[in-house]
Structure 1
Amino acid sequence: MPHRLFLSSGDLIADRRYEFARDLQLKGDLAAAAEVMEQAIEVAPGFASAWFELGTIRLALGETDQAIAAFQNARAADPDDRHGAGVRLMQLGAAPLADMPKAYVQSLFDQYAPRFEAELIERLNYRAPAILFKAVLAVRASERKPAYFNRAIDLGCGTGLGAAAFAKNVDSFIGIDLSAGMIAEARATGLYAELEVDDMTAGLQRQPDASADLVLAADAIVYVGDLAPVLREIERVLRPDGLLAFTVETHDGDGVIMGKGLRYAHAAEYVRGMIAAAGLQLAHLAPASPRTEDQVPVRGLAVLAGKLESTR
């Protein structure tokens, strides 16, 4: 996902040097780009965008220690961490795994919203909603139950691709997304009865107990590290016969890591443990690739869980 947030330093000379350094970076002259970016920082020491870009240049040069220092300075210069320097530090093992900065996720997707669908479908062969729809049909068929849902909650709804995949099987959709830009795109589809700008857990907290037949999160849980809080809320809002369907990216190790694509990857055993701890029963867990990146299918899992004994 191309993401180049620019926050002006407030100094014209520093901003111009930043732009010159970016040009050099794009042309592949990384050593010169780093030098000019450092000149921009000399003029404006609290220039968060320059520190962040210097970090990415140092990383590309293989200078990991210097990249870490630059990302630390970027985070210090912008306490909201809109560039996501903390996410880079987690990926580099230089910061403990924690929640992604809210302002970073918001700025990432607000910028991305207008071209989101074209980018996902054409370039990344995005297939998470289709994978989940197929899995839901299979689970419901095995239980001899109709795959029709009265009220569904679409977590991290984005532009509405999840709701579009389930539109004929859901009577009423509620969408929750942290990005106002994404919510505006989702509203234009006419697929949602309600839309809320919020993170998943907070958005769910406002939903009544046992009020949803289906909770959907297509390629959205990849922005959530610790699954416990959101799964606890999902268990509360699901009706007794309700179903949860989501995708995650995965890895061969234990627990949760920050993946190469700057999204969390959850190990299968971690997911199983979190589902059980939340009082949900696993109905389906199978390898499924939600998207393609650098011409390679991203490793993932499709996960379905319910509240009832019968959803095993």
Structure 2
Amino acid sequence: MSTSAPASSRPGASGARSAAVRLRTRGRPQQRGAQSGITPRRSVLLTLLTGLVLIYSLVPLLWLAINATKTQQDLFNSFGLWFSGDFALFANIAETLTYDGGIFGRWLLNTVLYVVLGAGGATLLAVLGGYALAKFDFPGRRAIFAIVIGAVAVPGTALAVPTFLMFSEMGLTNTPWAVIIPSLISPFGLYLMWVFAAQAIPDDLLEAARIDGSGELRTFVRIAMPLLGPGTVTVALFTMVATWNNYFLPLIMLKNPDWYPLTLGLNAWNEQAATAGGEAVFDLVITGSLLSIVPLIIAFLLLQRFWQSGMAAGSVKG
């Protein structure tokens, strides 16, 4: 009676086993790299620079959060980067919201108004303009590109006085429109959306939509807008922060404290100590400054998820 040969002695068995091992190894490139002892390269200099930037960014916020818990007297009698004996954060918040007839709440609403209309309108115009400049060919396109690049290089303070004179002739000074209308123009946001739209939206995708009978408006809303999500959120954050922290433009445009934004109102409280008979409210200025950055932090945390979701929506299978 004949017996079958062992698997190891069969012809081609070793070759098949070697091929199977190669296939299994080829499907595990990460494990192969880990077994070979290859580790990512580390840079001590880059780590130190990142740490310095982190310290530079966090220390002012830490100082603000700590000193918002102190009374007016403790601000000058204690170390700036550590707490004092009395924890007065909630008392400071209550006094900030009720001081001078609750004017802080009015300044907060004014700032929100300027951000919603000014920064929101600037983002919308930047998205529409950037998409049009990136995906449509029309006469004067190169001239517009040169104008936008030149406008990005011009600082806003250089245009403040001409803008004031123009709005003064139109009778719009000391009104909210004097802050909202100039905020609608964002050359940097327009340039950013122009560059982003040129790379994020394939021309073939737009042509396919037009061949299928989709109009330009529907193509923009249904196809372009999801692909422009990350760029739109980036421009929205830039314009929102710029409008929220805007100080010089409201300073020359507004005289009525009822229309002040937070930046101008807190500065008015800070200058009270230097006026004759004025009351020093440095504790309220610090607490108000802390409250003023909370909406920006919340907005960033809510909007940052759209970066990842927008990038996933923009993936096109080749």
> TM-score with structure 2 length normalisation?
0.24
- Relative contact order (alpha carbons < 8 A, sep ≥ 6): 1 or 2 greater? 2
Higher share in strand: 1
